[in-house]
Amino acid sequence: MTTQNKNDSTCCPKFDPLPWDDKTFEWTDKKFIRESVFTFFYIPMNFSHVMKKLNEQVTKAGAEIPDWLCLSDHTSRWNMDLYLAVDRVIAGAENLTLTGTFYCKVYEGPFKDTEKWIKEFEAIVKSKGYKQKKLFMWYTTCPKCAKKYGSNHVVLLSQVE
């Protein structure tokens, strides 16, 4: 994302987990643009390049990124689709919308805990009487900003029914 100024090494806003932790949202035609990231055994290889491209498209359109929301859909060991929330249709981008009920839970810690988080999340979703349709992950800050803030929040968000 864009840096506030050249002397500020923070490129991601500080994440507030309270509005997202253990919450359910109803989205109707929530706007996103989508782009793919090449991954090697789930490790993103060109993430920053793709984020720069998405940010340039948003900036060129004069659009905003609500909540700096960027969902990751790990489609295979070799691909991850990014869904960047936007406030309007972006010319030249793959525009799409998400509609439905979405449940989310915030986790904090190292990425190596992802498998543990997913198992816990799936159990919580089931205990709430939901059936999980589609799981997304939201890496709320880049590694550099996570280190600067002293926390690495990851949001698991699932479309549920």
pTM of the model: 0.90
Whether 141 contacts 83, CB under 8 Å: no
The predicted-structure confidence for 39-97, as pLDDT tens digits, reads as follows: 998 889 999 899 999 999 999 999 999 999 999 999 999 999 999 999 999 999 999 99
The closest of 63, 39, 54, 37 to 1, measured between CA atoms, is 54
CA distance 107 to 23: 13
Q: Going from the N-terminus, what domains does the chain have, and what CATH number goes with each?
A: 23-160 (3.20.80.10)
Angstrom distance (rounded) from CA 48 to CA 44: 9
Give the DSSP per-residue string, 40-105: ETTEESSHHHHHHHHHHHHHHHT---GGG-EEEEEEETTEEEEEEE-SS--TTSEEEEEEEEEEEE
> How confident is the model over 102-156, as pLDDT tens digits?
999 999 999 899 999 999 999 999 999 999 999 999 999 988 899 999 999 999 9
